Amino acid sequence: MIIGYARVSTDEQETHLQIDALKEAGCERIFQEKMSGVSRDRPELERLLDQARHGDTIIVWKLDRLGRSVKQLIKTVETLDHAGVQLKSLTENIIDTTSPSGRLVFGVFAVMAEFERDMLRERTMAGLVAARKRGRVGGKPRSLDAGKIKKARVMLDSGQYNKTEVAQELGVSRHTLWRSLKRADNAA
């Protein structure tokens, strides 16, 4: 089955141009929505991905209809590829996973996205090492000091707060709160 996906970012915009082009391309079914590409919650795209089956081809007007970032686009295409679904862009003829050259081009994009992720991870790790050398340690506190443990006990004993609320008040996770209280009990 040939399935189309059309998206515009705002209610003021219309999908008419995309819909006409998708119909002309032979789409038997077209999913459309008015939602920003930045939004991760795109119900019609999710429905399309759920309903697409092995051997289907999804056609879009432009690749940016599927996602705002290369990372988001790669993830969507990988999902399609694992399901045996092809992708074709009407305006970017270079992207057509139904052909060997189109798969090659998309493979290059995927490698570039992976390279970008690796570089980001490398820069992050280098930044953390540099911060540690300067004596800075990131993240939330791993345990609570005696004063905060006392405050936590008062709040919990009052019955007005649950552990989640107390942890939020103290700026730690529930697990850290629980562990700190248990450690204090064992030390007493």
12 shares its domain with 87:
yes
State which of 65, 99, 133 marks the end of a domain: 99
The total number of structural domains in the chain stands at 2
Looking at residue 32, its amino acid is Q
pLDDT for 157 beyond 70: yes
119: left (phi over 0), alpha (psi -120 to 50) or beta: alpha
pLDDT for 181 beyond 70: yes
Residue 10 confidence (pLDDT) = 77
16 shares its domain with 74:
yes
State which of 99, 134, 161 marks the end of a domain: 99
Would you say residue 126 lies in a domain?
no
Kindly state the average pLDDT of the residues 39-45.
Answer: 79
Tokens representing 155?
């709040």
8 shares its domain with 83:
yes
Would you say residue 120 lies in a domain?
no
Q: Pick the residue with more confidence: 109 or 149?
A: 149
pLDDT > 70 fraction of the chain, expressed in percent and rounded:
90
Residue 139 confidence (pLDDT) = 65
73 shares its domain with 159:
no
User: Which CATH number belongs to the domain containing residue 52 in this structure?
Assistant: 3.40.50.1390
Would you say residue 112 lies in a domain?
no
Q: Is 9 a catalytic residue?
A: yes
State which of 68, 99, 130 marks the end of a domain: 99
Residue 68 confidence (pLDDT) = 67
pLDDT for 44 beyond 70: yes
Torsion of CA 129, 135, 138, 144, to 10 degrees: 140
Residue 64 confidence (pLDDT) = 79
9, 89, 101, 180: which is the annotated catalytic residue? 9
151 shares its domain with 95:
no
- With contact defined as beta carbons under 8 Å apart, do 156 and 163 qualify? yes
Residue 144 confidence (pLDDT) = 85
Average pLDDT score over the chain: 84
72 shares its domain with 11:
yes
Residue 49: pLDDT band with limits 50, 70, 90:
confident
Kindly state the average pLDDT of the residues 133-155.
Answer: 81
Least confident window among 24-33, 102-111, 148-157: 102-111
Residue 20: pLDDT band with limits 50, 70, 90:
very high
pLDDT for 140 beyond 60: no
Q: Which residues pair with 59 in a beta bridge?
A: 4, 88
Least confident window among 76-85, 107-116, 173-182: 107-116
Q: How far is CA 52 from the centre of its chain?
A: 20
Q: Which residues span the domain enclosing 163?
A: 146-187
Residue 44 CB contacts under 8 Å (≥ 6 apart), including other chains: 5, 7, 31, 32, 33, 35
Residue 42 confidence (pLDDT) = 82
Give the pTM.
Answer: 0.55
